[in-house]
Amino acid sequence: MTLYGLAVFGVVYALAVATPGPAVAAVIARSLARDLRGSPAFIAGFLIGDLAWFTVAATGLAALAKTAYVAFVVVKYAGVAYLLYLSYRMWTSAATPIESDDVEASEKPMKLFLGSLALTLGNPKVMVFFLALLPTVVTLESLTVPGFFEIAAVIGVALPVVLGGYAYAAARARRLLKSPRAIRAINRGSAGAMAGAAVVVATQ
């Protein structure tokens, strides 16, 4: 691809990632409640999910993906269930400052990765971007192997930067809070945001 074409895709993709949606809500809510612990694994799931959808679109499997309705629904509700699980954990977690040695241990990285991966694979917003909007930005029919990896590299940089920025900002806001009452309010507010993201995915 030309440098201009990559730049156009990068801008469009970064804006799509930054647009408020289930992924952004999940990252912000989790960082508010858990700080940055586990964020790399959590964001990695979103990244691999996006790369999977891009591969589907770029290799001509879009029609097959659109017909695999049962598999899509199963993955979609697996992501919804995981968001609700995270919401429950946040709601019931202790109001403990981040710096405390007694703070509850984070979820295992693999569980975080698989949860966000399932959420991405079953997120209609992501599917619509790669199967419907991407072809208006990138001519997939003439996409070469080097072009495929160039776009994948842009995705590999843009998504972690955007979602990592959200996570960092939310974690910084969390660290300003010291009182148990404020921390409990943040935990429960984050739980509500996570549950809301689950409802959005489930109803789309």
Report field, pTM of the whole predicted structure over 0.95: no
- Residue, of 198 and 151, whose pLDDT is higher: 151
The pLDDT, as a whole number, for residue 103 is: 44
- Range 173-200 average pLDDT: 67
- Residue, of 169 and 81, whose pLDDT is higher: 169
The pLDDT, as a whole number, for residue 139 is: 83
- Range 129-147 average pLDDT: 83
Tell me if 8 sits within 8 A of 75, measured CB to CB. Answer: no
pLDDT band at 157, cuts 50/70/90? very high
Residue 89: both structure tokens together: 């954990």
**pLDDT reading at 35 higher than 50:** yes
Q: From CA 65, how far away is CA 62, in angstroms rounded?
A: 5
